[in-house]
Amino acid sequence: MNKYTIDLANTCLGCKKPSCQTGCPVGTPIETMIRMFLSGEIAEAGKMLFENNPLSVICSLVCPHEKHCEGHCVLNKRKTAVSVGAIEHYISDFYMNSTEFLQPKYNGHNVAIIGSGPAGMALAFILASKGYGITMYDGQSMIGGVLRYGIPDFRLDKRVLDKLIDRLKQLGVKIRRNIMIGKHITVDDLFRDGFKSVFVSIGINVPKKLNIKGESLGHVHFAVNYLKEPAVYDIGRKVIILGAGNVAMDVARTAIRNGAKEVIVMYRKGAENIPAEKHEVECAKIDGVKFHFYKEAIEITEDGVVYKKTDTQDETGFESANSVFISISQNPNDVLVKNANINVNEKGLVNLDETGMTSRKGVFGAGDIVTGARTVVEAVALSKKVAVSIEEYIEKEYA
C-alpha cells in the first residue's frame, strides 16, 4: 500500500455535506470514496467510482481539480485542500488493473458512436454495460480523441488510456478506425444497417487562423496538430506560442521536452486574463516557459514574430524564433453535420433539445462538438445524461 496515498486520504475531514462532491460535474462521492479506501474496501471504492464515472482513472489525472473538487474543499481556507485527484487515481487504477469486465447479454439494440474521445468512450461504457451493441467510429488509426492526440504523455500516460480501451473490448464494443462518418459512410447508412440510435461526439479539432501575414510559412504550426505527434517536428532552439489557453501550455511544455531551449508564450492581454487554468500556468513556469504579456502578433517572418504592444500607443517590436505555434482555439469539423443535415448554431456547434437529441430524429450528441472546448469530466457528465435519453428513445421507438 502506498503510504503517501494513505497520508493524503487521512487529511479528509469526512464532511457530512461534502462541498467537494458538489463541485464535481459528475458528483463523485469523494467522502465515501476516501472512507471506503481507508477501511480496506479499495475494490468496492473503485467499482463505485467507475459506475459513477467510467473515465475516473483518466479524470483523476487530467481534471482541473483546483476548479472542481479540490477547489470546493473546506480545507482551502487553510490552503491545504485534500488531494482528491491523487487518491482517486490510486483507487481507480487499482480497480482497472484488478478487474476483468464481462460482456453482458445482448439486448437486441445497436447504437453507433461517432468519435472516440471522452464523450464517446463514456457513452460506450455506459450502454455496453447494459447489453447494447456498440460500434465506435473514428477518423484516426488509434482511438481516444483528445485523450490520445491532445493531451501530452507527461500529463496522461497513454497506457492508462489503452487499459480503458481493452475494457471496452471486453464489454463487446466494436471499433472501426480510419473512417470519417459523413465522408465515407453516412448517418443514413448507419440507420439503414440497423442502428437504432447514433451518438455524435466528434470534438472540435480544426485550428483557428490568426489571418496575419506569414501564417503559411514553413516554421509556423498549429498547436493542436503539433500535439498529435510532436516528435516528428523540427522546432529548433527557440519557440514562440501565440495564445495562452490550456492547449498553449501543453504545447509549451511539450516543446521543452522535445529540444527547445527557450519557449515564450506571447499573449495580447495581461497575466490576470490568461484563459489557461492557474495550475497549468504554474506548471509551465516551473518547466521554464517565459510569458510575454501585452504583445499581439501582427506578422510572422522567417526569423520570428512582429508584434504590437497592446498596453501602449502604436509601439511595435520583434521577437526572434525558430518556430511559431498558433494556439487560439479550434473550430468544429463540419463534414459530418453538413452531410447529416444536423442543425448547428452560429459557432458551428451542434444544437440539442432538452433530451440531448439533435435536429435529426434518433441522433444525439455530447462533447466539445456541442459545448465547445470543455474538460473531460464535463464531457462525461453530459454523456451520462444523454445515455438516459438514448435508452428512453429506443424503448419508446422500438419496444
Residue that is written with C-alpha cell 527547445 in the block: 260
Q: Residue 317's beta-bridge partner residues? A: 307
**What stretches of the chain show up as alpha helix (H) in DSSP?**
3-9, 19-23, 30-38, 42-52, 56-62, 84-98, 118-128, 146-149, 158-170, 187-192, 223-228, 246-257, 278-286, 335-339, 368-371, 376-398
Contact call for residues 343 and 260 (beta carbons, < 8 A): no
C-alpha cell at 71: 477547489
Distance CA 309, CA 206 (A): 28
pLDDT of residue 172: 97
Contact call for residues 139 and 179 (beta carbons, < 8 A): yes
pTM over 0.85: yes
pLDDT of residue 333: 75
Of 203, 226, 194, which Cα lies nearest the Cα of 370?
203
pLDDT digits (tens, 9 = 90+) for 98-127: 999 999 999 999 999 999 999 999 999 999
pLDDT of residue 3: 75
b or e along 317-333 (b: 16 or more beta carbons within 10 Å of the residue's beta carbon)?
eebebbbbbbbbbbebb
Greatest Cα-to-Cα distance within the chain, rounded to the nearest angstrom:
69
**All domains of the chain in start order, with CATH:** 3-98 (1.10.1060.10), 110-204+332-398 (3.50.50.60), 207-329 (3.50.50.60)
Distance CA 193, CA 311 (A): 59
Query: One digit per residue, pLDDT tens: the chain, 399 residues?
Result: 567 899 999 999 999 999 999 999 999 999 999 999 999 999 999 999 999 999 999 999 999 998 999 999 999 887 789 999 999 999 999 999 999 999 999 999 999 999 999 999 999 999 999 999 999 999 999 999 999 999 999 999 999 999 999 999 999 999 999 998 988 899 999 999 999 999 999 888 889 999 999 999 999 999 999 999 999 999 999 999 999 999 999 999 999 999 999 999 999 999 999 999 999 999 999 999 999 999 999 999 999 999 999 998 779 999 999 999 999 988 887 778 777 889 999 888 999 999 999 999 999 999 988 988 889 999 999 999 999 999 999 999 987
Distance CA 168, CA 95 (A): 15
